[in-house]
């Protein structure tokens, strides 16, 4: 199987344009056309992961965290990042990362946390803007249904739990073709008035090429009038963090013990227990302190994440309980999620879950 077959699929699940600006998700090392015969999946790409890939005959490593965040100016092995890249290249092993783009989707990292905690009615905590566009075009009434169907099939018209969504308004267009024209309707040199439908559909930015191909192949006119608008609407299924509900409200201490058990956390650092029972829960895999205000605004009773700094705990201001269970602990089940995603598509592809614990933090009890 070619490497691009796997990476293209992963990028339909979690498109690269969903990642944060600081991130470096995608193919880091490797030729998209290379043949891959087995993949190793891990949270982090460190030296012992590359060694495991070599030992098990895997020539692709898929991780959540990218090994390269910042640009490399030299490759001489002076630090673990350079050593990993050098060893991967030397052994013809491709490195691929699926990071904040996997965090952002509503079936990704945060959904897995919610699942382990038994949360229901989940939704994205902080939806992302700038991911949607609107296409407006004008089509003869008789061909409008065919064009709409083609646009829907190409990926337009999906809004939340609804598909085939469009706005349509009747009107008329005018045009006059010159001697070089080949008009679908009307006569050359004569102004024509044609009953038309104004069709509006929303689509994700990463599908624009497919949308325009569908438009050009299914619109009957020689010259197609269309407009594309960038939307500031937030994509309700894409963004940072998630929030959901427990089936039954719980005592705060009992809930924190449940979190520690379900998330296999060594320790839970938390703010003062403020007396309320826990019913609504916000989560964010990895470093989530930037979402504290969103968690409070959502009415969450507790916010579960990692990497809170000392002074940031004060920002709870008795409005919410912060439960910091650790960066690794919130994301440790991401590798299992990735294996499931890949096996769903490539049932016969050899894929291995790492046997290594890559958590750089140790605990003394």
Q: Report domain extents, the chain.
A: 3-103+331-353, 105-126+239-325, 131-231
Residue 227 pLDDT: 98
Residue 221 DSSP class: -
The CATH number of 131-231 is 3.30.70.120
> pLDDT tens digit string along 22-48?
999 999 999 999 999 999 999 999 999
Exposure b/e, 192-219, CB count within 10 A at least 16 = b = bebebbbbbbbbbbebbeebbebbeebb
pLDDT at 195 over 90: yes
Is 219 a known ligand-binding residue? no
The CATH number of 3-103+331-353 is 3.40.1390.30
Residue 240 pLDDT: 98
Is 64 a known ligand-binding residue? yes
Q: Which two tokens stand for residue 65?
A: 């965290």
Residue 70 pLDDT: 83
Is 65 a known ligand-binding residue? yes
Percent of the chain with pLDDT over 70: 100
What predicted TM-score, i.e. pTM, was given to this entire model?
0.93
Band the pLDDT of 13: cuts 50, 70, 90: very high
Cα–Cα distance measured from residue 107 to residue 120, given in angstroms and rounded to the nearest whole number: 13
For the chain, give the mean pLDDT. 97
Is 331 a known ligand-binding residue? yes
Could you please state the CATH topology (level 3) that the domain comprising 105-126+239-325 is classified under.
Answer: 3.40.1390
pLDDT at 160 over 90: no
> pLDDT tens digit string along 205-237?
999 999 999 999 999 999 999 999 999 999 999
> pLDDT tens digit string along 57-83?
999 999 999 999 988 889 999 999 999
Residue 365 pLDDT: 85
User: Which residues does residue 235 pair with via DSSP β-bridges, in sequence order?
Assistant: 128
Q: Please name the residues in contact with 350: beta carbons below 8 A apart, sequence gap of 6 or more.
A: 37, 38, 39, 58
Do domains 105-126+239-325 and 131-231 share one topology? The answer is: no
Residue 276 pLDDT: 85
pLDDT at 271 over 90: yes
| Alpha-carbon distances of 96 from 4, 110, 183, 310, 332, rounded to whole Å | 11, 20, 49, 34, 18
Is 179 a known ligand-binding residue? no
Cα–Cα distance measured from residue 236 to residue 336, given in angstroms and rounded to the nearest whole number: 25
Average pLDDT over residues 173-194: 93
Residue 71 pLDDT: 82
């Amino acid at each position: 199987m070619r490497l691009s077959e796997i990476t293209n699929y992963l990028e339909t699940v979690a498109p690269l344009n969903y990642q944060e600006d600081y991130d470096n998700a995608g193919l880091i090392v490797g030729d998209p056309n290379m043949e891959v015969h087995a993949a190793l999946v891990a949270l982090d790409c460190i030296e012992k992961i590359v060694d495991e890939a070599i030992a098990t005959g895997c020539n692709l490593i898929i991780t959540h965290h990218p090994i390269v965040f910042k640009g490399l100016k030299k490759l001489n092995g002076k630090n673990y990042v350079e050593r990993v890249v050098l060893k991967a290249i030397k052994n013809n092993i491709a490195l691929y990362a699926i990071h904040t783009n996997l965090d952002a989707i509503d079936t990704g990292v945060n959904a897995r946390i919610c699942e382990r905690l038994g949360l229901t009615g989940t939704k994205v905590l902080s939806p992302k803007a700038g991911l949607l566009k609107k296409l407006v075009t004008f089509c003869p009434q008789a061909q409008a249904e065919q064009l709409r169907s083609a646009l829907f099939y190409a990926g337009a018209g999906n809004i939340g739990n609804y598909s085939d969504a469009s706005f349509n308004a009747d009107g008329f267009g005018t045009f006059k073709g010159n001697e070089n024209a080949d008009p679908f309707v009307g006569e050359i040199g004569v102004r024509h008035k044609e009953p038309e439908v104004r069709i509006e559909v929303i689509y994700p930015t990463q599908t624009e090429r497919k949308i325009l191909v569908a438009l050009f192949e299914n619109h009957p006119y020689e010259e197609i009038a269309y407009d594309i608008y960038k939307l500031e609407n937030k994509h309700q299924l894409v963004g940072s963090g998630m929030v959901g509900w427990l089936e039954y409200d719980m005592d705060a201490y009992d809930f924190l013990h449940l979190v520690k058990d379900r998330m296999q956390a060594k320790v839970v650092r938390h703010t003062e227990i403020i007396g309320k029972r826990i019913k609504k829960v916000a989560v964010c895999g990895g470093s989530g302190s930037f979402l504290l205000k969103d968690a409070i605004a959502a009415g969450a009773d507790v916010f579960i994440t990692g990497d809170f700094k000392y002074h940031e705990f004060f920002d709870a201001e008795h409005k919410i309980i912060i439960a910091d269970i650790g960066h690794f602990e919130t994301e440790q089940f991401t590798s299992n999620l990735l294996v499931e995603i890949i096996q769903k598509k490539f049932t016969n592809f050899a894929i291995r879950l790492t046997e290594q614990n890559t958590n750089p933090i140790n605990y003394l009890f």
